[in-house]
Amino acid sequence: MTSPPAFLSSLLDRYKSPAGQSRPFVTLTFAQSLDAKIAGRGGKQLILSGRESMVMTHWMRTMHDGILIGIGTALNDDPQLNTRYLPPRDPDPSVNGHNHSYNLPRPIILDTKLRFDPHCKLLKNYTEDKGRRPWLICAEPLESKEKKEWMIRRNTLEKAGARVVPLEYDYDTQEYLPIPLVLQTIHRLGILSVMVEGGAQVIRSFLLQTVAQPASSLVDTVIITVAPIFVGEDGVSYNAGSGPSSALKHASTAMFGQDTVVGLFLP
């Protein structure tokens, strides 16, 4: 396959026109087991997607400006968030201003307290020109003691190659950054489409608003890979909130290898 599967194009081609709003288009996507688990006991990373659906996910990555995860996933999985499963082809120097064959989405991490690891693969790939510079969306503390330690972490991470993006809001001790502000901020920085890959708490934050207040949904498309296995009750769930959601409508379902991939969209 040399271009994105039709399943993805039919869901995401509308992103090629401007969103007409002050946030990027948002695709929420992840892989789960039949019993709706996204990781194993204690958060152990599980490769749930088979080869074919993993390739589909990497095509999906090429179709977005940004790829957003929570700091829990960054620390637990040490992900690369690149497109390495796609077929090799000649590099196109016009892509991302890098010598890459495919559009690489910008890694964006929700990292409230700047816990990101300066030795992680995302920074290693960036410094070796194999990936884009990761952005760390965080909150700047007001307290002077906390602020001093925060400045030290900020300097370390910036020296290691990260871009630190403090949010402008009245930060107290909240662990969760306000998602609407996160989206407005990255939109202002040029991200017109973003793929949200998890983990559990981030998926829940995006879904909760869609279920509770469909009119102000933060999600345009949901693409879930369902792998034909049971993980068991020790696995990690995301929990989509209470009550069924009618906001997201079924668009299409496709098989990739042994996995079922379901696409939903916000009409």
Ligand X SMILES: NC(=O)C1=CN([C@@H]2O[C@H](COP(=O)(O)OP(=O)(O)OC[C@H]3O[C@@H](n4cnc5c(N)ncnc54)[C@H](O)[C@@H]3O)[C@@H](O)[C@H]2O)C=CC1
Query: Which residues lie near ligand X (CB under 6 A)?
Result: 30-31, 38-39, 43, 45, 48, 69-73, 76-77, 110, 112, 175-177, 179, 197-202, 205, 236
Alpha carbons 26 and 58: distance in angstroms, whole number: 16
Closest contact distance (angstroms) between CB of 198 and ligand LIKH6CAM is 5
The HSE-up count of residue 130 (CA atoms within 13 Å, CB side) is: 11
The β-bridge partners of 39 are 236
Closest contact distance (angstroms) between CB of 150 and ligand X is 14
Q: Which option in ligand LIKH6CAM, ligand X, none does residue 80 bind, with CB closer than 5 to 8 A by kind?
A: ligand LIKH6CAM
Residue 197 three-state SS: strand
Closest contact distance (angstroms) between CB of 127 and ligand X is 23
Q: Which option in ligand X, ligand LIKH6CAM, none does residue 177 bind, with CB closer than 5 to 8 A by kind?
A: ligand X
Helix locations, 13-166, DSSP H: 51-62, 71-77, 121-127, 144-159
Residue 72 three-state SS: helix
Rg (CA), the chain: 18
State the residue for tokens 């920085």.
Answer: 189
Q: Which option in ligand LIKH6CAM, ligand X, none does residue 201 bind, with CB closer than 5 to 8 A by kind?
A: ligand X
The number of angstroms, rounded, from the C-alpha of 27 to the middle of its chain's C-alpha atoms is 8
The one segment of 77-85, 103-111, 133-141, 187-195 that binds ligand LIKH6CAM by CB under 6 A: 77-85
CB-based contact 95:65 (threshold 8 Å): no
Question: H or E element: which one contains 36?
Answer: none
Residue 62 within binding range of ligand LIKH6CAM, rule CB under 6 A = no
| The dihedral sign for the CA sequence 88, 162, 188, 169 | positive
Residues 213-232 touching ligand LIKH6CAM, rule: CB under 6 A, are 225
Closest contact distance (angstroms) between CB of 78 and ligand X is 10
Q: Which option in ligand LIKH6CAM, ligand X, none does residue 65 bind, with CB closer than 5 to 8 A by kind?
A: none
Binding interface with ligand LIKH6CAM (CB under 6 A): 31, 45-49, 57, 69, 73, 77, 79-82, 197-198, 225
